[in-house]
Amino acid sequence: MNKIKVAPSILSADFSCLDREIKKVEAAGADMLHIDIMDGHFVPNITIGPAVVKCIRRATRLLLDVHLMIEAPQKFIDAFVDAGSDMITVHIETIGEAKIRELKAKLKAKGVKLGVSLNPATPLDKIKGVLDAADFVLIMSVEPGFSGQKFIPGAITKIKELRSIYQGEIAVDGGINDLVAGELIRAGADILAAGSYIFGAKDAKDAIERIRDGAK
């Protein structure tokens, strides 16, 4: 089994002291930083844009895992690449297969990884045609939009099915804590994004280790 990567989602951080929050999870052993971008259209919430990602880039050496929950993501790819993203995830509900292939070529040339995500209600069939272009797949285990929601167990079946047909990395996002991590890892997940469980913990290092050790 590969080493599980843990991606704290800054949506649950205290944005009034974001630099401190980021350095806290970096010191606590995070493998990457999960950054949720929301536009108020694809999801009923608004977060941050490329200007803030650029500032975050200066605050940490962690890989920046940028999760775009926005309509027409292709319009903003250059801005997020220039801001310093290392991984960019688009939702299959927001972009067609041809555009995903164009994106893949563009990101590959820049050394940025492409993730393709799907909502809990979107069947795996919708992404099967682009799996060869995806560096990783992000399975949503809550409805995108907010931190602190309850994990939707249907994600487990999806991970298992995807694992049987896909060799790339599988990331999971939403409602993840130490209790569900083990099942996700056994199902075949490689990257676990968690917001409220890590930023809400008294000890972020302990929280990250508990997620990573979920398999034990």
Binding site for ligand DX5 (CB under 6 A): 9, 11-12, 34, 36, 67, 142, 144-145, 147-149, 173-176, 193-197
Q: CB 187 → ligand DX5: shortest distance, Å?
A: 17
Q: How far apart are CA 188 and CA 115, in angstroms?
A: 16
Q: Are 189 and 171 in contact (CB under 8 A)?
A: yes
DSSP state of 141: S
86 is catalytic: no
Q: How far apart are CA 119 and CA 72, in angstroms?
A: 16
Q: Which residue is closest to ligand DX5 by CB?
A: 195
Q: Say which entry of Zn ion, ligand DX5, none residue 148 contacts (CB below 5 to 8 A, set by partner kind).
A: ligand DX5
For the record, the structure tokens of 91 come out as 């939702």
In this chain, which of 67, 91, 158, 212 binds Zn ion, going by CB under 5 A? 67
Site track 29-58 with Zn ion (rule: CB under 5 A), x = hit: -------x----------------------
Q: CB 109 → Zn ion: shortest distance, Å?
A: 25
Q: How far apart are CA 216 and CA 211, in angstroms?
A: 10
Q: CB 147 → ligand DX5: shortest distance, Å?
A: 4
213 is catalytic: no
CB neighbourhood size of 18 (10 A)? 16
Which candidate in 31, 36, 39, 190 is catalytic?
A: 36
Which candidate in 31, 39, 173, 190 is catalytic?
A: 173
* Among 156, 117, 166, CA closest to 137: 117
Q: How far apart are CA 111 and CA 202, in angstroms?
A: 36
Binding site for Zn ion (CB under 5 A): 36, 67, 173
- Which residues form the catalytic set? 36, 173
